[in-house]
């Protein structure tokens, strides 16, 4: 048997007629950028998230870049960021000229809130929280620390659409929430797409202006902006998927539960999940094991494809050589990168497929 890491076509097929109708509706409309679909999507997504405003942009990275720009975070400013994250989180900071200050993860793979305050200096302007792998970080504590030190909070929710604490969704705790709709994310488009959400009118207007050449009125340019617009086709397709998103997330949670209940092998550490319902939407199911490459090869030999998120921590990435980090500087994160392995988990995964993965892992 062969189990792929992800199969996006299964999700498409399930709602195929609705997607086809939406795409053709846009093609026939003759209007492809910043039209009714984007406007409607922004309203519907803000509403689904429980935020006042949403602005559609071109990608998750652009959402981060624009969020920092809207908050006027720039050269000389420091931003606290989890060391264990996808590199885009860090690029959102450094592209604006600001300096990332890395904080180690806790057992949930998210930023360790007990280590945030010692990382704060007089130059710290913000905390960038990442709800990694789909599990919401300890937002109550983070908001409390940010309030005490007068810091902005930006949430990178690229992996955590819908993750919530007692119903309050990721992205609505801080000043601004940043989303990616990259096709493999839990709420994925059919190409690049992203958005920010906020309850702050001034931030909304600033991002809206910056995403479109820094212009509110055509040919009047207030800022040097970007071309980072969500396009009409992606917006129309996302509107279709949004109607099914609860169901899509529910299916992922069920699949993860199956792994959690049935993987029984003393060589494998399962992900730690907080008790509250909905706090984890399982963008990724990340296990740990001592000899990770050996396990990965064993699974591959049995037809099971896995991935590593992420093999190189951002502070050791080539593009950040200039920051002067050495191996060993951020040890918990570095150890995670050596032990972690992501198992296949995707919408449309069959019982047969997941049972097969469980059996092979248990036989390892
Ligand atoms: C995917 C991802 C991003 C970047 O999103 P893109 O749409 O690919 O630019 C940012 N942060 C995290 C945590 C991600 O997983």
pLDDT given at position 277: 80
Half-sphere exposure of 251 (CA within 13 A, CB side): 17
Q: CB within 8 A of 149, min separation 6: which ones?
A: 117, 120, 124
How far lies 336's CA from each of 119, 217, 219, 289, 312, in Å?
Answer: 21, 48, 49, 10, 10
Ligand 1 center–CA 18 separation, angstroms: 26
- Residue-wise burial string across 137-169, b where 16 or more C-beta atoms lie within 10 A, e elsewhere: bbbeebbebbeeeebbbbbbbbbbbbbbbeeeb
Half-sphere exposure of 207 (CA within 13 A, CB side): 30
Q: Do 308 and 285 touch, CB atoms closer than 8 A? A: no
Phi-psi region of 123 (alpha: psi -120 to 50; beta: other; left: phi over 0): alpha
Q: CB within 8 A of 219, min separation 6: which ones?
A: none
pLDDT given at position 165: 95
Q: Whose CA is nearest to atom 1 of ligand 1?
A: 158
pLDDT given at position 353: 98
Ligand 1 center–CA 164 separation, angstroms: 19
Nearest to 85 by CA among 361, 237, 286, 306: 286
Q: Whose CA is nearest to atom 10 of ligand 1?
A: 88
Ligand 1 center–CA 179 separation, angstroms: 8
Q: CB within 8 A of 80, min separation 6: which ones?
A: 101, 103, 111, 116, 119, 120, 124, 126, 127, 128, 151
86 in ligand 1 pocket by Cβ < 6 Å? Answer: yes
How confident is the chain (364 residues) per 10-residue block, as mean pLDDT?
97 97 98 98 98 98 98 98 98 98 98 98 98 98 98 98 97 98 98 98 98 95 97 98 98 97 98 89 98 98 98 98 97 98 98 98 98
- For every residue of 218-239, DSSP letters joined together read TTEESS---B---BHHHHHHHH
- Six token digits for residue 334: 């570095």
Tell me phi and psi for residue 267, to 5 degrees: -85, -10
What predicted TM-score, i.e. pTM, was given to this entire model? 0.98
64, 81, 87, 88: which to mutate for ligand 1, most atoms within 8 A of CB?
88
pLDDT given at position 275: 77
pLDDT given at position 276: 74
pLDDT given at position 103: 98
């Amino acid at each position: 048997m062969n189990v792929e890491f992800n199969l996006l076509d299964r999700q498409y097929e399930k709602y195929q007629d609705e997607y086809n109708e939406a795409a053709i509706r846009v093609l026939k409309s003759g209007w492809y950028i910043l039209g009714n679909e984007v406007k409607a999507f922004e309203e519907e997504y803000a509403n689904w998230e429980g935020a006042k405003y949403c602005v559609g942009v071109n990608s998750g990275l652009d959402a981060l870049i624009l969020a920092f720009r809207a908050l006027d975070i720039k050269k000389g400013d420091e931003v606290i960021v989890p060391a264990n994250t996808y590199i885009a989180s860090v690029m959102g900071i450094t592209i604006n000229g600001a300096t990332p200050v890395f904080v180690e993860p806790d057992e949930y793979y998210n930023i360790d809130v007990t280590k945030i305050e010692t990382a704060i200096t007089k130059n710290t302007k913000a905390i960038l929280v990442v709800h990694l792998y789909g599990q919401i970080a300890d937002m109550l504590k983070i908001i409390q620390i940010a309030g005490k030190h007068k810091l902005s909070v930006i949430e990178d929710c690229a992996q955590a659409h819908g993750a919530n604490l007692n119903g309050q969704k990721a992205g609505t705790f801080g000043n601004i929430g940043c989303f990616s709709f990259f096709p493999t994310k839990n709420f994925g488009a059919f190409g690049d797409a992203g958005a920010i959400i906020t309850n702050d009118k001034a931030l909304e207007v600033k991002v809206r202006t910056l995403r479109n050449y820094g212009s509110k009125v055509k040919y009047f340019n207030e800022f040097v902006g970007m071309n980072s617009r969500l396009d009409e086709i992606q917006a129309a397709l996302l509107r279709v998927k949004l109607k099914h998103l609860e169901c899509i997330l529910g299916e992922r949670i069920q699949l993860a539960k199956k792994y959690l209940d049935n993987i029984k092998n003393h060589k494998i550490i399962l992900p730690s999940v907080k008790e509250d319902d909905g706090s984890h939407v399982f963008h990724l199911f990340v296990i740990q094991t001592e000899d990770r490459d050996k396990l990965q090869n064993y699974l591959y030999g049995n037809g099971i494809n896995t991935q590593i998120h992420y093999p190189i921590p951002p502070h050791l990435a080539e593009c950040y050589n200039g920051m002067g980090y050495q191996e060993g500087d951020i040890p918990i994160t570095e150890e995670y990168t050596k032990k972690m392995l992501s198992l296949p988990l995707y919408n449309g995964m069959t019982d047969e497929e997941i049972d097969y993965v469980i059996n092979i892992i248990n036989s390892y």
